[in-house]
Homo-oligomer: A and B are copies of this chain.
Amino acid sequence: MHRFFCSEWDGSAIEVVLPLAEALHATRVLRLREGDAVGILNGRGFVGTGTIRSTDRRGAEVHCEILEVRQHARVGIPVRLCVAPPKGKNMDAVLRAATELGVARITPVLCRYGVSRPDGAKEGWREQLLAACKQSGNPWLPELDVATDFGSVLSSSEEVPFVGAVPGTGNASLPEQARLLAKGAALWIGPEGGFSPEEQEALQQAGAVALTVGRWILRVETAVPALLGRLDGILSGAQLKNARN
């Protein structure tokens, strides 16, 4: 069943009109017609399943009848991703992976050694998140911030920074990591050239926890899913332990 994104849907209506881009995709690319099954996401936990009730001749107006609504609690990896955006398609890969894995929020961070000063709207970042939600079935669209200077992000962040892809640094103990994660954490991933000495210093001052996977230098596209996988494991381990106590 094909899924469509309709952020205006409040989860209660029994009929949904698809936004223009989704309607055209449904009728012209996927060639769906009246009676075909569809899934509807609103990015805030609601998933509707139903069928196409009618389309106009241009295929621009698609009315869907919702037959069943499921509301999902916010599950996934309750972490904010603060990432120095790599170029073009590599950032797309990062955004898709983070969305599939279910991060809560993504903040593109402009670092001293960053390669670009991107404009998320122009780059189509939100479209990547929507596509990943539809493909993975994640009913929660991550919050996406505009690209912001390193200093502003760090000083306004209330999350404990976990800093990834810094080879050779030590790890905090696992129980300590689990305790900090439970308080709310951000995963910080620097640009290809790394965080500058001043940025590293600022992260340390903010109580950063070093997090590594493997022993070698990771591209950002690898570091993001690998470190989120590691954080998810730490969280699951802590949950198991709590469940037992």
Name A213's contact: one of B101, B216, B218 (CB within 8 Å): B101
Given known A230-B230, A233-B234, A234-B233, contact A76–B215 (CB-CB < 8 A): yes
- Please report the C-alpha to C-alpha distance between residue A97 and residue B173 in the assembled complex, in whole angstroms: 26
Cβ of A75 within 8 Å of any chain B Cβ, yes or no, is yes
In angstroms, how far is the closest chain B Cβ from the Cβ of A211?
A: 9
CB neighbours of A216 from chain B (8 A): 76, 100-102, 136-138
Q: Which residues of B contact A137 (CB under 8 A)?
A: 216-217
How many copies of the chain does the oligomer comprise? 2
Assembly CA distance A97 to B94 (angstroms): 13
17 residue pairs A–B, Cβ–Cβ below 8 Å: A77-B214, A93-B93, A100-B216, A100-B222, A101-B213, A101-B214, A101-B222, A135-B217, A136-B218, A136-B219, A213-B233, A214-B228, A225-B229, A226-B228, A226-B229, A227-B229, A230-B233
A236 within 8 A of B: yes
- CB under 8 Å from chain B, chain A span 160-189: 171, 173-174
In the complex the two chains form, what is the Cα distance from A77 to B228 in whole Å?
16
Contact residues of A with B, CB < 8 Å?
75-77, 93, 96-97, 100-102, 135-138, 171, 173-174, 213-219, 221-222, 225-230, 232-234, 236-237, 240
List chain B residues, Cβ under 8 A from A75. Answer: 215
- Chain B's closest residue to A138 (CB) is B216
Cβ B229 vs Cβ A93 within 8 A: no
- In the complex with contacts A75-B215, A215-B75, A240-B173, A97-B221 CB distance below 8 A: yes
Tell me, in angstroms, the Cα distance from A233 to B222 when the chains sit together: 15
The reply to whether A222 and B102 form a contact with Cβ atoms under 8 Å apart is: no
